[in-house]
Amino acid sequence: MIKLIAKELKRHSPFTAFGALTGIIIMVVIVFGNLLPKISPVSQNIFYLLHPTHVLLSALVTTAIYMKYGKRKIWLAILIGYTGSIGIATLSDSIIPYLGEVLLDLPNRGIHIGFIEKPLLTNPAAMLGIFIGYQKWITKFPHYGHVLISTWASLFHVIMAIGETVSWIQIIVIFIFLFFAVWIPCCTSDIVYPLLFARKEQEIVSTKS
């Protein structure tokens, strides 16, 4: 199982890095293009468009990975798909960016938990992703989309808190938090989390044999 996890992480890692890089580029364009005053007022709307999309793609990949390697029990697929997407997307898009905002003492910081503040957007997105992942065991391209959308959702969570000005020090710290907000949670939810459940099922089958 460790070899399988390592294989999946290696296969998905290049685009994960690329996704984080796109967020950094967008941030540079916004800041040095003096676009913060225009984008900040609508950043919350953008976040609540990107976050449910992130949840959908995360649920799709998480469910598909479990279906590919697990025993394909529908109730467990739903449980893994929902907790893996809602839990990790909240960590990636909201909690880690919020910690960065607190560290930087940004003026408009807030945690913005999607499944609490916008349950009618977030929860249906998770269920749709689970449904697709249960039917179609596709992981590579949805994971790529997941990484991109997660990066951008985390970015606009921070932009909500920035206001209209940002310093060089703040930009550097934002870059660091943005990278880790995407790299660790996305690979964990898409790959490691469902494979851990698949491993437990395999161990149970081996014990009964």
Is residue 205 pLDDT above 50, yes or no?
no
CB burial string 71-89: b at 16+ within 10 A, e below = eeeeebbbebbbebbbbbb
pLDDT tens-place string over residues 159-177:
888 877 777 788 788 878 8
Contact 96, 158 (CB under 8 A): no
User: How do the domains of the chain map onto residue ranges?
Assistant: 20-27+39-200
Is residue 116 pLDDT above 90, yes or no?
yes
User: Does the model's pTM come out above 0.85?
Assistant: no
Q: How far apart are CA 89 and CA 122, in angstroms?
A: 10
